[in-house]
Structure formats: structure tokens, C-alpha cells
Amino acid sequence: MKSLTLDHTSFWYPATASPALRDVSLDVAQGEIVALVGALGAGASTLLLVAADLAPRVIGGRLAGAVARRDRSGIVLPTPWTQTSGMAFTVWDEVAFGPANLGWPTHEIARQVDRALERLELVPLASRDPVTLSGGELQRVIIAAILAMDPGLVLFDEPAAELDGEGARTLWRLIRLLAKDGKAVLLATSALDALPDVADRVVWLENGAVRAVGTPDLLADVVVCDAGLGTSVATVWRAGGLPEPYPLTVADAVQRWR
């Protein structure tokens, strides 16, 4: 079942003549992970804001085309320090801020918060003051805060930007678990090497328009690699002048080499 459908959607930011999104048609089903890739300014973050019903409702601008959302969405923005409530003196209270705003009963809030803290491995930090956390810890707190609101559609904008290698691996595992739970996930990321193991589909955006859609194998495509959006293995293979098709992952490269 479709959680999000964009039908020939275009979006203009306030006081701009050219659209940031151009005629985008895309759907994300429950249990599916769709990754948006593209150069800076390609429109991935804008697409997430439209999907989250923040553009144009909150930030202004103009929308053309249709956007249908079946589930409540939650978006994780790239800078965690701007997403704290400013109201909480503990991580637990910070994560509970959103669920409390939904008017849930206290026991349900506690259940969701505890579950989110466990999933993000934040239980040892539950009583810490959020302003004392590192960037990576705070990023995990914000992800937990969004997940505690139990959104059906989860939107991530560069979710691994503040995380170290282990933190990023935990996050990718969690995203797969979210999809397994039936949540629809739409993520914009430049961590291309993670996508073969994480994403079900990859959408290549260029200048606000969809250039190509496919399985993660797309990240080993010659044209995609030429645009600088291939995985590291594909990019190295190409730089080495080795024959096409390019391998997507290290395992693919080893297999090809043999």
C-alpha cells in the first residue's frame, strides 16, 4: 500500500522564478526504503520537505501537482542542534516532547520513548542534559524523538552526517528494521556506499527533476558514475580503466576479479 505519492509535483520556493522540484512523480510503499541521491541543489531536501507537508504549508512557496500522504510523517533534518525542543533537561524528556504534543496517554508516551531509546542505544544517556551531548549523540536523540512519535512515513535528510562509522552502521540497520515493521522510509543521503545494503530503490535527482529510478545497481551505472554518484567501488573501478559493467560493492568486485 502506498504511503506517499507525488504526482507530477513541482515546487517553487518563495520569491523564486525557477522551481526547486520539477514534475516529480514518485511513490513510496509501506515497508519500502527509497533513497534520493543527487548533487548539491538537486532537490532531495526539498522533496523531503514537500513529502513532510512542510513545503509549502510552513515555509511558503508554491506547489503544483498532487501529493497524497496516507500516513503521518516524521522528518529528521540534517542539523540535530536546531531540532531540540529547548524544553528538556534530560534525553528522556527530549524524546518525549513529540509524543506529548500528540496528546497520547502517559503510559503510551513512556512505552514509545523507552522503545525508541533502546533502538537507538540511548538508554545509558537517558538522564543526560541534551546540551551536553556530542553531535552524533544528539543526532541519535533526534532520530529517537521522531521514531517515538510512531510515524508511518519516516523521512531522513542526511541522517548519517553527524555519526561515526559504528553509529552510521547502527542507523542503517535500524532503517532496515523500520521497513520490516511496515514503515515507509524516504531518505536523502550522500552515503552512497551504504545504499546497496539499505535501499530498495534509488532515485537520481538532477536540477529538481527525476533523472533515473532503479534498484541500487543504478549506483554502478556508467552515467551515474560519470555524475559522481557511484559507489566507491564503482568509482575506483572506473578510475582504474577497468571494463564495464562496474561492480557495485566490494563483494561484486572480488567476484569479478576472480
Partner 1 sequence: MTGARLHPFTLLAIAGALPALAWILPAPSGGTVTAAIGLTLAASRGLRRGLWPAVLTAAPFWLFLLLLHDVPTTIAIGLRITTMVASFVWLVAALEPARLVDAMVAAGWSASVAYLLAATLSAVRVLKARARRIVEAQRCRGLSPRGGIAARLRALRALALPLVLSALHEVDERALALETRGLVPGIRRTPLAPPPDPAVEQAARWALLLACLLALVRRFVVPRFT
Nearer to partner 1, 54 or 213 (CB): 54
CB of 55 to partner 1, least distance (A): 9
Secondary structure of residue 54 in the 3-state scheme: coil
Smaller CB separation from partner 1, 46 or 249: 46
H/E element holding 255?
Answer: helix 250-257
Shortest distance in whole angstroms from residue 255 CB to partner 1? 43
Nearest-angstrom CA–CA distance, 126 and 122: 6
Concatenated DSSP letters of 117-177: HHHTT-GGGTTS-GGGS-HHHHHHHHHHHHHTT--SEEEEESTTTT--HHHHHHHHHHHHH
Per-residue contact track with partner 1, 56 to 95, x per CB under 8 A? --xx-------------xxx-x-x-xxxxxxxxx---x--
Q: Does 131 bind partner 1 (CB under 8 A)?
A: yes
User: Contacts with partner 1 in 99-128 (CB under 8 A)?
Assistant: 99-106, 109
Sign of CA dihedral 203, 204, 205, 211: negative
Among 42, 120, 146, 210, binds partner 1 (CB under 8 A): 146
For 40, residues 6+ apart whose C-beta sits below 8 A from its C-beta are: none
Q: Which is nearer to partner 1, 52 or 210 (CB)?
A: 52
Binding site for partner 1 (CB under 8 A): 49, 52, 54, 58-59, 73-75, 77, 79, 81-89, 93, 96-106, 109, 131, 145-146, 149
